[in-house]
Structures are given as C-alpha cells and as structure tokens.
Amino acid sequence: MKILSAAEIREWDQYTIQHEPISSIDLMERASLAVVKWLLKHYPAATSYGIYCEKENNGGDGLAIARILHEQHFPVSVHILEFGHKGTDDFQTNLARLHQYPEIDIHFVQSTDQIHPLPDSQVIIDALFGSGLNRALEGLTATLVEHLNQSGNDIISIDIPSGLFTDRSSKGAIAIKAKHSLSFQCYKPAFLFAENSTYTGELHLLDIGLHPDYYRQLQVQLEITDASLVHSIYKPRQKFAHKGLYGHALLVAGSFGKMGAAILSARSCLHSGVGLLTCHIPGSGYPIIQSVVPEAMAMTDKNELINTAVSADLSAYDAIGIGPGIGTANETIMLLHDLLDAYRNPVVLDADALNILGLQKDLLQLIPKGSILSPHPKEFERIFGPTANDFDRAILAMKMAKELGLVIILKGHFTLIAAPDGKGYFNPTGNPGMATAGSGDVLTGILTGLLAQGYHSLEAALLGVYLHGLAGDLAASALSMEAMLAGDISDYIGKAFLQLQA
C-alpha cells in the first residue's frame, strides 16, 4: 500500500473530482457518510456529539457529519472557530445546509470566553484541521485544543489529529490527542512514527472511493509492506525439494554468558526454512548449541570465550549473519573486519556487529553491497549520528541505504526498511510484546535464513520483518504481550508461514 504526502492526497481528490466525475461537495458528503457509518458501529449509544470545526474543507466535513448524525437522531452541537474569514465554498455550502435544522446548536468561538466545559459523556469530533496544516497551532486554536485534550472525553479526529503535520515532524507541537483517527483511503507519513503515537490513538482507514487510476500510476517513495506485497515475494517449496536447494547459512554468534543470543538466532534461522546452518561459536558454547539446537552444525573458535577468527572457506556459505551476543572485544572487531574484507555476498549485521560499526565507522566501506543492517534507534545513532526527531532519522536511513547500497532495517513499532534504491517500506506487523530481550536475535536468524535461500536482500528484509512481526502477533494472541519471550516468537514462525500460505 502506497503512503501519500499531503500534496498527493489533494491531487488524488482533484483527480477523482475530474475523472469520476463528482463535485467536491458530493465527495465531501461521501467522506462524511463513511465517518458516520463508522461512528454508528463504534459509538451506537453515544449520548451526544460535539463537532469542532475551522472554516476549511476539514471543517466542511465536520458540518456534514453533524447534519448526518442529527438525521440519525443524535443530539449534536457544533463549534466553529471564528477568525473573520468566510471559509471555503464547500464549508459555506454545508453550513447553509446545517442552518436548515434550527434545533442544532451552532456556536462561533471567537475568544477563550466562549470555550466552556464539555458534557462528561459527549463524544468529540475533531474536524478543525486536516492534512494540509502548514504551521503550528497557537493562540485561541491552541487553547481550544488543550481544552479538548484535558476534558477526558473520547476524541475522534477526522483525517488527522489537528495540530499534526502530515509530512514532517510535529515534535513539541500542540495537537489533539485522539482516541481514534479516521483517515481516508491510505496511510499518511505522520501515522507511522512513534513521536506521534500519543496523538493518533487507534488508526482506521476509511475507503471513500477515490479514483483508482491515480493511485495505480502514482510513483511514491514510501509504502506499507502489506499482505499482497509479501505474497508476491514469498517462494513456496518445490515439490521435489531437497536441503541443497535452500542454502547454507553461517551464523557468527555468541560469547561466554551470551550463548542464548546464538541459540535464538540459530533456531529462527532454521525455522525460516534454510537448508543447512553452521554456527561459529566460542569453544565454551559447543555443548550448549549441540544440545539445544541439534539441527545446526557447530564450528568452534580457537578462543573459549569469544569469537576471534573464522578459519573456514567463507565461499561455502550462501549467506552470513553476524552479531548476536558476540561482544566488542578487539579480537572480535578484527574478526568482523576480516570477514567483511573476505566475503563478497550480502551479510546480515545486527546487535554487537552494529556496536562495532559504531566504534569503527570505517568498516562501513567494507560491507558488501546488498547487505542488511538491522539497528534499533540507538544503534543507528551510534553508526550514523544523532537526529532531531523520528522523521529526520527515517530520512537519514533512506539516504544512507542509497549511498552505501545497503538495506537498513530501522526497528520500531512500524519498522522502516530503507532500500538501496532510496525507497522506504514500513512494516505493519508486530506489537509491544516484542520489546523483549532476544527479539532482535530472532530477526537476525530469519533474515540470514531467507538470504541463504536465494531471496534478494530487499525481499529477505521485507518478508523477514513481516514474518517476524506476524509471529510476534500470533505469540501475543496466545500468550499475552506481557508474558511472551523472544523464543516464543521463534516458535510461532511456522504458524506465521501457515497464515501467509492461507
């Protein structure tokens, strides 16, 4: 699913008006009917609605919603911010329609004296500003927004919570804190960043029938990794398959006291479908890996406590994953240097491998093209430098992925997969229960296994992150987000594949 900017959304509206064709006021009516349908389903017993509008088209939506709710026999009050301008034509048309119902209370808010306490059970509809907002809220508008936020009433934002910018950071801004955001047709960038999570609440996309031809021909920089994209990537097993068809992966993982990371990564690599797996581990980890993951082959380092050198012929492996639990000792740093210098196929770098990159940034130039880095925000910052906000971090990730020819997986609730061609993909699967020790090690194993099976780097990243999140969702459904462990994510990879195949 494509993610559209504010300008592209306006263009889609205009394209629909011209090519359906439909008048702008009738398109507004269609959107308002979709909102009311949602409200009737989710708030059937609402005692009353308070509609808050400004005089642009988002406010016009609010007026249409108020009228339709009144026709459905709900008590409605309308509050219009009054700044002395007439407003858009569609706003004025809907205001004239509303005046045909004198029993609807219409209030014009011109000063703070006209901001009053809200009825306790009233549902608030935020139709103040939509996705076209281009400056921070201030003065009377900011006061009204803070008043609504402090009311304790449920707030439903139309299009986007008022005060949020669609395409850039709103960090530190005053904005509506919605319980639900009802957006039209597609995701907007603002919904995908953690810094906006306290404002957007639960997101719902409403289909209002915008013309599909515009969407089909539009080239965008950002997408959501939806089920259709994942299905197009996934390669089912061949009927006469054997293990030699599905690659040989090498995992360089573990150190004394951190063999759990190696186990989690190895089990997940095997669950991803890889044909063969060899684990390079310190000598002390040999009995552990052989007893806990018997399906994996083990190759021990000369050092008992840490990984210091891989003496095997690296060309024997279709993919290498390195990082989980390896530490950052000088000898391990040299191992990473030598491995990157010798191996020419894409590798997966995570955990301590990323910490080493943060310590020695010159190693970035040795990483084979098409390799996958999977940092969380702090790891990303140590490698590529600090950023002021989530938007800037995502932009930097896409910039560096293109410059270095890498896939960068920036972990988060909507994990960003930054591709070497400059595009970005946000992953929709996963949940807060996955914020637990070892979850990243599980992802490393999945990515390495898929890469070894012949998936291209971007395909492995898109499919791997989606499966990782889906397995986490299935584990959380069965066990709860609080109780699930990283090992549970690995255990549910099989069920994630089954859901993908359904």
276-318 pLDDT, tens digit per residue, is 999 999 999 999 999 999 999 999 999 999 999 999 999 999 9
Amino acid at 358: G
Whether the Cβ atoms of residue 65 and residue 125 lie closer than 8 Å to each other: yes
Sort residue 273 into left (φ over 0), alpha (ψ -120 to 50) or beta: left
Instruction: Classify residue 1: in a domain, yes or no.
Output: no
pLDDT of residue 86: 84
Cα–Cα dist 389/169, whole Å: 7
Contact 179, 202 (CB under 8 A): yes
Q: Of 284, 316, 315, nearest to 300 (Cα)? A: 284
> What helix, strand, coil percent values describe the chain, rounded to 5?
45, 15, 40
Same domain, yes or no: 187 and 300: no
298 and 329, same domain (yes or no)? yes
- What is the rounded distance in angstroms from the CA atom of residue 430 to the CA atom of residue 95? 43
As given in the structure block, the two tokens for residue 487 are 């090992």
Give the span between the Cα atoms of 125 and 314, in whole angstroms.
Answer: 61
Phi, psi dihedral angles at 496 (to 5 degrees)? -65, -40
Do 26 and 42 belong together in one domain? yes
Based on the fold, state whether residues 308 and 187 are members of the same structural domain: no
343 and 309, same structural domain? yes
Find the Cα–Cα–Cα–Cα dihedral 469, 475, 481, 486, rounded to 10°.
Answer: -70
C-alpha span between 499 and 502 (Å, rounded)? 5
- Residue 268 domain-assigned? yes
The Cα–Cα gap between 448 and 450 comes to: 6
d(CA 173, CA 198): 12
- The pLDDT, as a whole number, for residue 237 is 86
Residue 367 located in a structural domain: yes
Count of structural domains within the chain: 2
Range of the domain at 31: 6-219
The enclosing domain of 73 has a CATH number of 3.40.50.10260
Q: Are 150 and 117 in contact (CB under 8 A)?
A: no
Helix pair angle (24-42, 6-19), 10° resolution? 110
- Cα 64 to Cα 98: distance, rounded to the nearest angstrom: 8
pLDDT < 70 positions in the chain = none
For the chain, the maximum distance between any two Cα atoms, rounded to a whole number of angstroms, is: 86
Look up the CATH number of the domain holding residue 324.
3.40.1190.20
The reply to whether 146 and 270 lie within a common domain is: no
143 and 292 belong to one structural domain: no
Q: So what's the pLDDT on residue 24?
A: 97
Amino acid letter, residue 33 = L
> What pLDDT does 242 receive?
84
Q: Does 151 share its domain with 297?
A: no
Using a 10 angstrom Cβ sphere, with 0-12 exposed, 13-18 middle and 19 or more buried, the burial of residue 317 is buried
What are the two backbone dihedrals, phi and then psi, of residue 204, each rounded to the nearest 5 degrees? -130, 125
- Same domain, yes or no: 205 and 274: no
Q: Is residue 342 part of a domain?
A: yes
pLDDT score for 83:
81
Q: Which of 199, 219, 239 is the last residue of a domain?
A: 219
In terms of DSSP bridges, do strands 347-349 and 180-184 run parallel, antiparallel, or are they unpaired? unpaired
What is the rounded radius of gyration, in angstroms, for the C-alpha atoms of the chain?
26
Q: What are phi and psi of 410, to 5 degrees?
A: -95, 105
Whether 334 and 366 have beta carbons less than 8 Å apart is answered as: no
For the whole model, what pTM was predicted? Answer: 0.95
Same domain, 238 and 102: no
Question: Measured in Å, how far apart are the chain's first and last C-alpha atoms?
Answer: 20
Residue 112 resides in a domain: yes
The amino acid at 195: E
The alpha helices in 180-219, defined as continuous H runs, are: 197-200, 212-217
pLDDT reported for residue 180? 98
Kindly state whether residues 252 and 177 are assigned to the same domain: no
In a domain, 338, yes or no: yes
The last residue of one of the domains, among 219, 250, 273, is 219
**Would you state the pLDDT for residue 85?**
79
Question: Distance between CA 388 and CA 17 in Å, rounded?
Answer: 39
Query: Rounded to 10 degrees, what is the CA torsion of 385, 388, 394, 395?
Result: -90
Domain-terminating residue out of 188, 219, 250: 219
Residues in a beta bridge with 240: none
Same domain, 12 and 108: yes
